[in-house]
Structure 1
Amino acid sequence: MAEREEIERESKQLQDGVFETEEIVEEKKRLQPWTQQITIRGVVSSIIIGSLYSIIAMKLNLTTGITPNLNVSAALLAFVFMRSWTKMLHKFGITTTPFTRQENTMIQTCSVACYSIAVGGGFGSYLLGLNKKTYELTGGATQGVSAGRYKEPEIGWMTAYLFLACFVGLFALIPLRKILIVDYKLTFPSGMATAVLINGFHTMGDESAKKQVAGFLRYFSVSFVWGFFQWFFTGKEECGFAHFPTFGLEAYKNTFYFDFSLTYVGTGMICPHIVNLSLLFGAVISWGIMWPLIEKHKGNWYPADLPESSMRGLNGYKAFIAIALILGDGLYMFTKILFITCASMHGRMKNKNKHIEVDDQNKTPNDLKQNELFLRETIPFWVAAVGYVVFGILTVIGVPFIFPELKWYYVIVAYIFAPSLAFCNAYGAGLTDFNMAYNYGKVALFLLAALVGKEHGVVAGLAGCGLIKSVVSVACILMQDLKTGHLTLTSPRAMLLSQSIGTAIGCVVAPLSFMLYYKAFDVGNPTGEFKAPYAVIYRSMAILGVEGFSALPDHCLQLCYGFFSFAICINLVKDMLPKKIGKWMPLPMAMGVPFLVGSYFAISMCIGTAIVFTWEKLKPRKAELMVPAVASGLICGEGLWILPSSILALAKIKPPICMTFLAS
């Protein structure tokens, strides 16, 4: 009890800008130089954790397209890994240097940078949208030149593209780090939460740490063994526990069933309750009501003899209505956060002198010490300028070789505007915790597709989308991690180098993780497990940018207008009446995902949210301590089983049993 109260006290102090525990006071006196905060064992741990999370994130990318924020989970896993490693060495009589919060922060930063490439690198969206299967699903040659060409995924060009696109973002906002973190004191909620957790790990005592480690290992083992056990019953497609007709065969046909995936249950435990409930609501609206009703109009609204995957048939309604929801929600949030950003910056500039006087009076010695440590090891402006220019030039030269449709002058224009877009996004994320990089990418996609024209617009739009999204996203993630470093007394130089190492690892690991799935499984099959819904969505957006509304099936435009308006109205209600009914309103962005994917994963994630809700009601203190550990164990265990199962699939070793269900 006392330990938990100490953690809560420290968390509250940290949020108020104070964390003056005796251990941290002493740590300030013995802080290591930044070169010693990055260790060989830390880099090795980062490669292992980042690779594991890349495999997990890739699975989520290629199945549902929803990946939770795993920063806290990565910090926990780093702590578990390093504590277990050092204790094992001590048992053999080998002495090691102490495992500090700075090293923990470095491993977390490097791991997150690595798996972020798998999340935001476009493997489930704009890059996969270039392959032949997605090209055929969205119309292919039947649409003439406006459908563009296709480019099959290969490790070589994908790795080169990622190195060119992602490293530019590391240098975009370095000169503004003091403004964003020290002067404006932006909270970056995810970065702060990670810092609270890391500081808690290193101050809460061995008993609580042991409980978290034991909980993680227990559920990691359960999840891994369960994944191994399920494999024996998946001899053919649509076999095994993942296709168990939990609510009956008729519900199963409409994707309403529990798929026994502990990965999704763990993901549901991490995601907020409103996200999981919004997914379920979207599933009921689409697969429970709309698709059965639209299917009755087959032969009237769309030809009855179309293949199931045709975008001119039912699949077109699924894709474009999902796009309408996602765009409506994204446009509203983009406008809202841009307004908040501009209003906040205007207020700061208007009251600049007064703000400085009041701010100086309110700062504690501890605040000043934090800022002094953050600013002591400066990152020269020339490093940012040279890095941005050099990698920008390499991208201008290299990307047109990979994608001849995207001319060099479009890349130059993109990189001229990218720093200002990155600043707006990072500022908004610092206030609201929303990383809107995907919306900036979608704007670039539409503009480039329309500008380049019918012949090459689709491919140019998809490739250009990735350039803007990567710069804006990587810059935002770096600022978020610098906030974590600011609160854990970690050197900014160490953070930048950690982020660079993680990004480099991710640019290599992410394509390898993707190809593991791409070669072993039927990625992009709309009726299979790895549907990759966002690949179809992004390519359809590019086609929409080139062709306009002529790409839509009959009556689809009216439905899109309705759901676009619905998304905006829902957000208005959430903002205007937040306490009365706003908190009960669904999230349109989350609602749109099941429209294409199905309902099964939403049911699994809602089971996760039910577990957390019940746990918090019965034992709130234990739940606060153990939920991140249990959820991480469930996600990592089954996620790790993907690696041997993929190797078995590549070796043509099939499971011996097919468990399926038939009507009596």
Structure 2
Amino acid sequence: MTKTMIIRHRLTYATGTATAHLINSFHTPQGVQQASFYFNFSATYVGVGMICPTVVSISMLAGSILSSGILLPYIESKKGVWYNSEYKESSMMGIYGYKVLISIAMMLGDGLFQLLLIPFKAMRNLRRKQQQLAAATNAFRSVDAIRRTVLSFDDRRRTHIFLKDNIPLSYAILGYTILAIISTIAIPHIYCQIKYQHIIVAYIFAPLLAFCNAYGTGITDLNLYNQYAKIVIMIFGFWITAAKGGVIGGLVICVIMTLIISTAGDFMQDLKTGYLTLTSPRSMFLAQAIGTTIGCIINPILFWVFYHCYLHDSTGSYPAPFARVYRIIAVVGAGGFVELPKYSIAISIPIFFLAIATSAIREVAIHKNWRIQHYIPSVAAISVAFLIHPTTSIDMCIGSLILLAWNKVDAEDANLLASVVASGLICGEGIFAIPDSLMGIYNVTPPMCIRFLASDVNEKVDAFLAKQAH
């Protein structure tokens, strides 16, 4: 995954890239002054749009138009016919079920194609390496460094260090296998609803989903492990069945696969940061292992504090609304796919194959250097747009437009400072999350609230305020 996504595909991983630029800026002449200057922005996705390729932002906007403007309004017009009109918008048995299944179908289609493409690219690169290795004298030579002769000295240096200190594949396979064996033996003794075959199947398919999620994170900067988790709950809940504890079993398997899937996306962000800052991947992995060990001690303590000190319902200080959502999904999954809204599976299947076809056409166009390659959208970016609010896509497009305009006006300054500005936009809002959380814990309300309303809602508010004045 590291060689494929960071070296070969050179995926953005906007958060990891932003972190790396922020770190690098403090270790370069006048870098400290530049990073302070750009640290107070708060439009995260504008910054992401400045880092991500323009095709990603445009693809997400196209996905938002397709979902919120065309497909979902049509499905909503079938309310009461295809699905029960009494279900809330966030219910998997309502319109949200269509959104999740369509998005996952597209993600899986694109991710599966990219995964199957790796062996073919590896064989092609191996042939090229055999042909060019004898003539190569560059000290930083590698498969991709030889192929990409236009790489700068810095990029070749990063590639050399990244590949030199990489984690051997045999270690990864051995470690994963040992952990899978331990889980297969231990977890069924803890949860009687789960059998050995459930754990084995989970560990077989988890790498596939982890690859899909890490690939999507690389191009959109969004870790959507929770969307995969919803499908995992339903599949294993249906397999175990409600009579044999499918609700609890589905949730437990969901936790196992979610940890694998989410960690893949997060760790690839960190490795991207390490790649750009000339940090050894082994050092990054060791830091992750230490952090995980500490988390195994701290997290249970925090859970104990929250569990014993706060209410556990929707009226408490920490209602944990997603706990209720996941439980509902588990109940639906244990009842079988018949609980899903009508035609949701039928719609998702052709979209899955359409995603594979689109990814294949895009790969061929890039390989053949066709002009159409710049106009073929990213399937993963489109799929993300089904799960987020359209404003996110608009913000990213604004960031891309700012970068395009900046390049038109002053390309040299844009190349030098665009990443710094984007890093400030992303990191600035991230830093503010700490005081924002503290204000929430201590129930501090802001002295002023600014809200944008639709015209009809605004008229109702004005009428209400006028009535209060009398």
TM range (shorter): 0.5 to 0.7
| Structure-1 residue corresponding to 2:404 | 613
CA separation of 1:485 and 1:654: change in aligned 2, threshold 3 A = closer
Aligned pair partner of 1:285 in 55, 58, 66: 66
| Structure-1 residue corresponding to 2:465 | none
Q: Is 1:654 paired with 2:445?
A: yes
C-alpha distance in 1, partners of 2:258/2:352?
A: 23
| Structure-2 residue corresponding to 1:272 | 53
Q: Is 1:364 paired with 2:138?
A: yes
C-alpha distance in 2, partners of 1:288/1:217?
A: 40
| Structure-1 residue corresponding to 2:14 | 69
C-alpha distance in 2, partners of 1:345/1:604?
A: 37
Structure 1 letter corresponding to 2:420: A
* Paired residue secondary structure (1:362): coil
CA separation of 1:623 and 1:537: change in aligned 2, threshold 3 A = farther
* Paired residue secondary structure (1:625): helix
CA contact (8 A) 1:449 1:457 kept: yes
Displacement after TM superposition at 1:380 (Å): 10
CA separation of 1:457 and 1:346: change in aligned 2, threshold 3 A = farther
C-alpha distance in 2, partners of 1:472/1:452?
A: 22
C-alpha distance in 1, partners of 2:360/2:173?
A: 41
C-alpha distance in 2, partners of 1:377/1:583?
A: 35
| Structure-1 residue corresponding to 2:102 | 324
CA contact (8 A) 1:377 1:492 kept: yes
| Structure-2 residue corresponding to 1:589 | 380
What are the residue-to-residue correspondences of 1:70-85 with 2, within 5 Å? 70-80=15-25, 83=26
| Structure-1 residue corresponding to 2:146 | none
CA contact (8 A) 1:326 1:589 kept: no
| Structure-1 residue corresponding to 2:431 | 640
What are the residue-to-residue correspondences of 1:151-190 with 2, within 5 Å? none
| Structure-2 residue corresponding to 1:340 | 117
Displacement after TM superposition at 1:398 (Å): 5.3
Aligned pair partner of 1:213 in 32, 48, 57: 32
Q: Is 1:407 paired with 2:195?
A: yes
Q: Is 1:628 paired with 2:388?
A: no
- CA deviations 1:231-289 (Å, max 9, x no partner) are xxxxxxxxxxxxxxxxxxxxxxxxxxxxxxx1222222222222222222222233333
C-alpha distance in 2, partners of 1:324/1:622?
A: 41
| Structure-2 residue corresponding to 1:24 | none
Displacement after TM superposition at 1:320 (Å): 2.0
C-alpha distance in 2, partners of 1:385/1:76?
A: 32
CA contact (8 A) 1:322 1:592 kept: no
Displacement after TM superposition at 1:325 (Å): 3.6
CA separation of 1:269 and 1:537: change in aligned 2, threshold 3 A = farther
Displacement after TM superposition at 1:323 (Å): 1.9
CA separation of 1:539 and 1:592: change in aligned 2, threshold 3 A = farther
TM-score by length of 2: 0.66
CA contact (8 A) 2:83 2:342 kept: yes
| Structure-1 residue corresponding to 2:468 | none
CA contact (8 A) 2:23 2:277 kept: no
- CA deviations 1:572-612 (Å, max 9, x no partner) are 44234453434323333333344344322222222222212
CA contact (8 A) 1:268 1:608 kept: yes
Displacement after TM superposition at 1:557 (Å): 4.6
C-alpha distance in 1, partners of 2:89/2:219?
A: 39
- CA deviations 1:520-544 (Å, max 9, x no partner) are 677658xxxxxx9xx9699859956
What are the residue-to-residue correspondences of 1:238-277 with 2, within 5 Å? 262-277=43-58
* Paired residue secondary structure (2:38): helix
CA contact (8 A) 1:326 1:588 kept: no
CA contact (8 A) 1:319 1:596 kept: no
CA contact (8 A) 2:50 2:396 kept: yes
Aligned pair partner of 1:575 in 356, 359, 363: 363
C-alpha distance in 1, partners of 2:406/2:349?
A: 41
CA separation of 1:382 and 1:71: change in aligned 2, threshold 3 A = closer
Q: Is 1:498 paired with 2:287?
A: yes
CA contact (8 A) 1:317 1:556 kept: no
The gaps in structure 2 that reach 5 residues or longer are 1-6, 143-156, 463-470
CA separation of 1:398 and 1:564: change in aligned 2, threshold 3 A = same
CA separation of 1:401 and 1:382: change in aligned 2, threshold 3 A = same
Aligned pair partner of 1:460 in 246, 249, 260: 249
CA contact (8 A) 2:41 2:428 kept: yes
Aligned pair partner of 1:553 in 334, 341, 356: 341
* Paired residue secondary structure (1:652): coil
CA contact (8 A) 1:448 1:460 kept: yes
Structure 2 letter corresponding to 1:217: S
- CA deviations 1:517-573 (Å, max 9, x no partner) are x98677658xxxxxx9xx96998599569623x233244455445544543443344
C-alpha distance in 1, partners of 2:433/2:179?
A: 35
C-alpha distance in 2, partners of 1:479/1:592?
A: 20
| Structure-2 residue corresponding to 1:187 | none
| Structure-1 residue corresponding to 2:153 | none
The gaps in structure 1 that reach 5 residues or longer are 1-14, 17-66, 84-200, 224-261, 526-531
Displacement after TM superposition at 1:645 (Å): 1.9
CA separation of 1:593 and 1:489: change in aligned 2, threshold 3 A = closer
What are the residue-to-residue correspondences of 1:10-409 with 2, within 5 Å? 69-80=14-25, 83=26, 206=29, 210=30, 212-223=31-42, 262-312=43-93, 316-334=94-112, 336-345=113-122, 359-365=133-139, 367=141, 391-392=179-180, 394-396=182-184, 399-400=187-188, 404-408=192-196
* Paired residue secondary structure (2:133): helix
Displacement after TM superposition at 1:322 (Å): 3.9
CA separation of 1:222 and 1:319: change in aligned 2, threshold 3 A = same
Structure 2 letter corresponding to 1:501: I
C-alpha distance in 2, partners of 1:601/1:489?
A: 32
Name the count of aligned residue pairs: 413
CA contact (8 A) 1:318 1:595 kept: no
C-alpha distance in 1, partners of 2:191/2:396?
A: 38
Displacement after TM superposition at 1:378 (Å): 11
Displacement after TM superposition at 1:636 (Å): 1.8
C-alpha distance in 1, partners of 2:407/2:327?
A: 38
CA separation of 1:434 and 1:408: change in aligned 2, threshold 3 A = farther
C-alpha distance in 2, partners of 1:304/1:379?
A: 52
* Paired residue secondary structure (1:581): helix
Displacement after TM superposition at 1:330 (Å): 1.9
What are the residue-to-residue correspondences of 1:415-454 with 2, within 5 Å? 417=204, 421=207, 448-454=236-242
CA separation of 1:337 and 1:217: change in aligned 2, threshold 3 A = same
C-alpha distance in 2, partners of 1:467/1:589?
A: 24
